[in-house]
Amino acid sequence: MKTIVVGDIHGCFAEFEEILRRTELDEDGDRLILIGDIIDRGPDSRLVMNRVWELQKKMGDRLVYLMGNHEDLAAEALRTGDRHHWDANGGAKTRRSFYRAGDRFDRYFSYISERPLYCETEAYICAHAAVSPEGPEHTDRQTFLWDRNIAFGSPYNGKLLIYGHTPMKGVILRDETGRGETICAGSRLHLPRTGSICIDTGCVYGHSLSALVIADGMLRVEAVEYGSVEARRR
């Protein structure tokens, strides 16, 4: 079994489908971790959400869809009826993608509201934005969903963290001191024990959607350039 960790999708359905193809997702045996922010800003949030929902039903606990700040904004808007903050971050575009298809986003309210803030294995932690060096149990909600300090180079010497939230032009590996280097698509390397890897590569901003393929103590980077599968976009 391999694990595939996918960065911020933001409604980019064609690129999501292509990254699943390139990483050779085995829906019957692999684990898939989505780092959060699968909705908002992009063209096809409904298609992404429906695809994830169907994968969840098939894969069960082998699909881990984490809470991102955009899921949190959406859930809060549906809970309170105040859409101002969500709409300022792409919420109206998400609702329109559902409306055009005769669907309603709010039927996913319970699903997105229940998304976990992190997942942890023996080798790494996945969270949307950041985690405390002392571990997830010492991390507050604001840090999990919104913090950018690690992404901007603050030292982090906890268990290897895989995260998104802060768009970069490439997958960035940082050591414990915060010093970073870009891992190019197609690269393979031993899974670090500490430090961090940012896999938000700004697909919705015209860059790429990236994923890590983890198996047998190794990782591989895959990336799909935005618009490179335009003919498949619906």
**What is the number of structural domains in the chain?**
1
pLDDT band at residue 106 under the 50/70/90 scheme = very high
**The pLDDT value given to residue 230:** 60
pLDDT at 229 (0 to 100): 78
CATH number for 122: 3.60.21.10
Please give the Cα distance from 56 to 50 (Å, whole number): 10
The stretch 134-147 carries a mean pLDDT of 98
What digits encode the pLDDT tens for the residues 62-90? 999 999 999 999 999 999 999 999 999 99
pLDDT category of residue 233 using cuts at 50, 70 and 90: very low
Tens digit of each residue's pLDDT (9 = 90 or more) over 10-19: 999 999 999 9
pLDDT-derived band of residue 234, with 50, 70 and 90 as boundaries?
A: very low
Q: How many Å apart are CA 66 and CA 200, to the nearest integer?
A: 14
Q: Has residue 231 got a pLDDT over 50?
A: no
DSSP per-residue letters across 197-227: EE---BGGGTSEEEEEEEETTEEEEEEEETT
Residue 158 is inside which H or E element, if any? none
Task: Say whether pLDDT at 57 is over 80.
Answer: yes
Across the chain, mean pLDDT equals 96
- pTM reported for the whole predicted model: 0.96
Question: Whose structure tokens read 């903050």?
Answer: 85
- What are the tens digits of pLDDT across the range 118-128? 999 999 999 99
**Which value, to the nearest 10 degrees, does the dihedral of the CA atoms of residues 106, 163, 208, 70 take?**
20
In the chain, % helix, strand, coil (3-state, to 5) comes to: 35, 25, 45
Give pLDDT tens digits for 167-204.
999 999 999 999 999 999 999 999 999 999 999 999 99
